[in-house]
Amino acid sequence: MALPSPISVTPVALDHIKALLDSRGKPSHGIRLGVRSKGCSGLSYTLEYADGADGFEEVVELDDGVRILIDPKAIMFVLGTEMDYEVNTMEEGFVFRNPNEKGRCGCGESFHV
């Protein structure tokens, strides 16, 4: 029996991940998702290109061979999260809807669980 994916990715976010990987100019293993201490609420999401896997990361396989590698230190903070991509009049970018969040700072840059 397969375990449920630790995160879900909307089709719009998947399209933007593919575009980022295609425009990078060199092969990538995927996108790495992590969290770090930052902001007034404590944690912030991080995304970076992954040139390889470290063996301890959770790997989420998406359509067309796209992978999201979740940093082992971040997994407990992102379980159940939906990754989306939104465009509005003021900004555009990846948005994380995390059911574990207990609060978010006023500017939306950081969260706590």
Using the CB atoms, write b or e for 83-112: b if 16+ within 10 Å.
Answer: bbbeeeeeeeebbbebeeeeebeeeeebbe
pLDDT tens figures, 40-82: 557 888 999 999 888 899 999 998 889 999 999 999 888 999 9
Q: Tell me the domains of the chain and their CATH numbers.
A: 7-112 (2.60.300.12)
Whether the per-residue pLDDT at 111 is higher than 60: the answer is no
Whether the per-residue pLDDT at 15 is higher than 80: the answer is yes
